[in-house]
Amino acid sequence: MSTTPPYHDTEALQARLALRLTAGLSERAASLPRDVSERLRVGREQAIARARHSRVAVPMLALAGSARTLPEGLVPWWQRMAAVLPLLVLVVGLLAINQWTEREQVLAAAEIDTVLLADDLPPAAYTDPGFAEFLKMAQP
């Protein structure tokens, strides 16, 4: 009597044998030498550290270079604002400095004018050559 099973049984037998064999491989792999296990552990920990580093580095690069590298439509509005913000701060700062300087100059001129006008001596006296000579002679 033939014991040859039909085709689908052969496939099932193959799978059954394969699973027994790989179970044996797993059992053998579980008892690797200690130094091999340690090197695998170190390698795994290094890989995890690299993954952590790359996860931190990628968002920073994205913030710094997204405006250049991404198409316009893909850049979030707040990132575009973040890129323009330093320029806005610089322009506003320069305008403020300009305003402040002009105001200082106006105040200084007004103070001089006030002193000259409030003095007993008329301003025209300072352009008189004779008065200038008098001032020189008056100095010790």
Residues 16, 69, 91, 94: which binds other proteins (CB under 8 A)?
16
3-state helix, strand, coil in the chain (%, to 5): 85, 0, 15
In contact, 66 and 81? CB cutoff 8 Å? no
Q: How far is CA 27 from CA 19, 22, 35, 36, 39, in A?
A: 12, 8, 18, 16, 20
**Binding mask of the shown chain, residues 57 to 96, with x at each position contacting other proteins by CB under 8 A:** -x--------------------------------------
Question: How far apart, in whole angstroms, are the C-alpha atoms of residue 128 and residue 140?
Answer: 21
Nearest distance from residue 69's CB to other proteins, in Å? 16
- If 0-12 CB within 10 Å is exposed, 13-18 middle and 19+ buried, where does residue 66 land? middle
Applying CB under 8 A, the site for other proteins has a residue count of: 39
Q: Which is nearer to other proteins, 30 or 121 (CB)?
A: 30
Q: Which is nearer to other proteins, 46 or 101 (CB)?
A: 46
Which residues contribute to the site for other proteins (CB under 8 A)?
A: 3-5, 9-10, 13-30, 32, 36-37, 39-40, 43-44, 46-48, 50-52, 54-55, 58
